[in-house]
A and B are shown apart, each in its own frame.
Chain A
Amino acid sequence: MAEGQVMGLSCRRRPRHPFIVQRSIFLLVGSIFKHDVWISLTPDDDVQTDLEAGGNGHGPRTEAAAGGSSSASPRAITSVREITSAPTLDGTKGPAALAVHQLTKRFGQRTAFSDVSFEVAYGEVFGFLGPNGAGKTTTVRTLGTLIAPTSGSATVAGIPLSPENEVDIRQRIAIMPEAPGLYLRLTVTENLEYFAGLYGLHNPRPRIEKALEAVNLTNRAGDLCGGLSKGLRQRVGLARTLLSDPAVMFLDEPTSGLDPVAAREVHDLIIGLRQQGVTIFLTTHRLDEAEKLCDRVAIMNSTLRTVGTPAGLREQLFKRSLVVTTVEPLKDPEQLFTAIKGVESCLAEGPATYVLSVSEPRAAAPEVVRGLVKAGADVLTIGETQHSLEDVYLELIAEDVEAHNQ
């Protein structure tokens, strides 16, 4: 599969239509809407040239590809040169699929989110976590050009977020809202055909077939969407996001309301997309999902609380520790443990369970066992404390609640 093509398909440019009457009608209607009209009766050049150049894939858009876009304004083309960099998975700096700088959205007096800044590298699966009302969906809608930010700036798929670039941005991204929003009286294929048309794709059949194959829905292609289960509808929604071969994919709670099997299938699909290098911006409540799928996560609660890899956040928030359980309670655990090399502090967590703060668990564990044996204690278990992303999340949100109460 060629780099930059999720579906491995390319679209051919069709000859211009010679329909002068149709062209005239469009000219007339276009002038009704606005004065500065240009007419495109050809397939969407954005998609055509971009795909031909392999530019609408998972890397930054090349200048040549951008220049091929007939609807791209000079500003949009210039903006391609302004690609910022983001931390890549190997820790180096790479071009940013998303670069958000002090973005704020207010609805009147209510602040949906404020001063949000982060970057997402191409090919990264970026988790966006937060409680209900934290501003996750509003952030996605803002980056997806559905709503305008109140202040701040952002670059989406290499294009600055601004009203004049909205169509260009939407051409290069795909958003799956929490509810897939399908036309229930149309079949799966008809729904996809419709959206393929909206992306300006000609001869969309092969692309639709690939998308259905990717979500394992080929055998349901002719079914009316109204007859599908919630999980299957969600899969159709995912297939829809694959149609345009997006550079950045926004998935808003893609497993919301799905049973474990259906959720697992969605996870597998996301993993597959990730392997193909698609940038995925995943908002979710499910912390296990984020931990499993995401390279980095951001925790949001109106403001951005933290960004990092799940492991990094764990280290950042929690001291590394060992949990030791002995057969009998120790007489003076404080004195015993602090005398052992590498142990910084000790906390009793039960009658015979102790949590020891250590800087290097692998080095400290044998010392602890030796010290306990020397003191005549019988060790039942010893292991490093495992903090989950959920612990990180709860810790941060608890801090917010505490600060709010104060």
Chain B
Amino acid sequence: MMGLDATRVRAVVHKELRDYRRKRAIVATMCILPLLFLVQPVVTIFLVTPTTSGAALQKSLILPILYLLLIPTIMPSTLAAYTVAGEREQGTLEPLLTTPLRQQEFLLGKATSVMIPTMALSYTVFALFLAAVRLFANSAVASAVFDDSAIILALFLLAPLMAGWGIVVGMAVSVRATEVRVAQQLGVLASFPPVGLIVLLAAGVVRPTFSVALEFAVGLLVIDALLLRFVSGMFDRERLVTGAKASRDST
């Protein structure tokens, strides 16, 4: 039987968030990236002329919104890549593994602690974008965005799932990587598949509708869950401590 203990998970989350707060450079870089990602969509929205309408207007809007979804995908990848490799590099992994903390609790705690700032910043940027549209964009654009609640719903629904993807892939890399730098570089690759999808949507290969977004969300949820389980299976205490894979005589 396996039990997930909330106290232990909370302890990991609490410590991680405390650690982020202490490292101001992390917080600063965490904030800079989403703000940079906000510039392009806002500029695009302002470039839409009031005369644009119908399919052309929708096409003009969809790309910046998809672009915003890259924030929760890219932002957590480097943080997630640090989760295990970082502990190992700073020599804190072994003491951690000597406690009753289960690998599932460890991974869940780490994933949650990356998810919290990612979602806080992503939703803040989304809110800033929507505020900019409401306050400064022309009325056609504003109504196109706000009248079709599916756009906002898709944005807010897909963001945690995209973040989940970035986090789980980042952690998978972190569990296997021998060095933090390697883990972080590989972690960035996590954003490639979603970028590919966005390119397909932007190119019109896949029609961006709410049902497509919903199907995509369900698919992503399943993939995230399977990946999380896969990462848990990859977590080998012996290999993490000694660099050698666990083995036991069959006799």
A279 at the interface (CB under 8 A from B): no
Among A167, A173, A198, chain B packs the most CB atoms within 10 A around the CB of: A198
Contact A186 B3 (CB under 8 A): no
Q: How far is the CA of A26 from the CA of B6 in the complex (A)?
A: 8
* B91-126 to A contact mask, C-beta < 8 Å, 1/0: 111111111111010001000000000000000000
Among A32, A73, A149, A174, chain B packs the most CB atoms within 10 A around the CB of: A32
Contact B7 A197 (CB under 8 A): yes
Contact A183 B19 (CB under 8 A): yes
Residue among A36, A144, A198 making CB contact with B11, cutoff 8 Å? A198
Please report which residues of chain B, range 15-57, place their CB below 8 angstroms from some CB of chain A when the two chains form the complex: 15, 18-19, 22-23
Interface extent on B, as a size class?
Answer: 35 or more
Residue among A44, A106, A176 making CB contact with B8, cutoff 8 Å? A44
* Residues on B with beta carbons closer than 8 Å to the beta carbon of A174: 98
* Residues on A with beta carbons closer than 8 Å to the beta carbon of B247: 106, 148, 150
* B222-251 to A contact mask, C-beta < 8 Å, 1/0: 000100110010000110011010111101
Residue of B nearest to A202 (CB): B7
Q: How far is the CA of A198 from the CA of B97 in the complex (A)?
A: 10
A195-B99, A197-B11 in contact; A39/B3 too (CB < 8 A)?
yes
Q: How far is the CA of A141 from the CA of B95 in the complex (A)?
A: 11
Please report which residues of chain A, range 161-208, place their CB below 8 angstroms from some CB of chain B when the two chains form the complex: 167, 170-171, 173-177, 179-186, 190, 193-200, 202
Interface residues contributed by chain A, number (CB under 8 Å): 63
Please report which residues of chain B, range 54-105, place their CB below 8 angstroms from some CB of chain A when the two chains form the complex: 90-102, 104
Report the number of A-B residue pairs with Cβ-Cβ less than 8 Å. Answer: 149
* Residues on B with beta carbons closer than 8 Å to the beta carbon of A146: 94, 97-98, 237-238, 241
* Residues on A with beta carbons closer than 8 Å to the beta carbon of B98: 144, 146, 170, 173-175, 177
Contact B100 A171 (CB under 8 A): yes
Q: How far is the CA of A149 from the CA of B246 in the complex (A)?
A: 9
A34 at the interface (CB under 8 A from B): yes
Contact A186 B229 (CB under 8 A): no
Residue of A nearest to B14 (CB): A197
* Residues on B with beta carbons closer than 8 Å to the beta carbon of A276: none
Contact A183 B15 (CB under 8 A): yes
A33-B229, A148-B238, A177-B94 in contact; A198/B99 too (CB < 8 A)?
yes
B2 at the interface (CB under 8 A from A): yes
Contact B6 A41 (CB under 8 A): yes
Contact B95 A175 (CB under 8 A): yes
A46-B100, A171-B100 in contact; A36/B1 too (CB < 8 A)?
yes
Residue of B nearest to A140 (CB): B98
B215 at the interface (CB under 8 A from A): no
Other 13 A-B pairs with CB < 8 A, given A30-B104, A184-B90: A29-B228, A32-B228, A33-B4, A33-B229, A43-B7, A147-B238, A148-B247, A150-B249, A177-B95, A186-B18, A194-B15, A195-B99, A199-B99
Q: For the complex of A and B, list the 3 residue pairs with the smallest distance between their C-beta atoms, beginning with the closest.
A: A197-B11, A175-B98, A198-B99
Could you list which residues of chain B lie within 8 angstroms of chain A, going by C-beta atoms? 1-8, 10-12, 14-15, 18-19, 22-23, 90-102, 104, 108, 225, 228-229, 232, 237-238, 241-242, 244, 246-249, 251
A-B contact pairs, 30 of them (CB 8 A): A22-B6, A32-B228, A33-B4, A33-B228, A37-B2, A39-B4, A40-B3, A41-B6, A44-B5, A46-B100, A70-B3, A107-B242, A146-B241, A147-B242, A167-B100, A170-B98, A175-B95, A177-B94, A181-B90, A183-B15, A184-B90, A185-B23, A186-B15, A186-B19, A194-B11, A194-B14, A197-B11, A198-B99, A198-B100, A240-B95
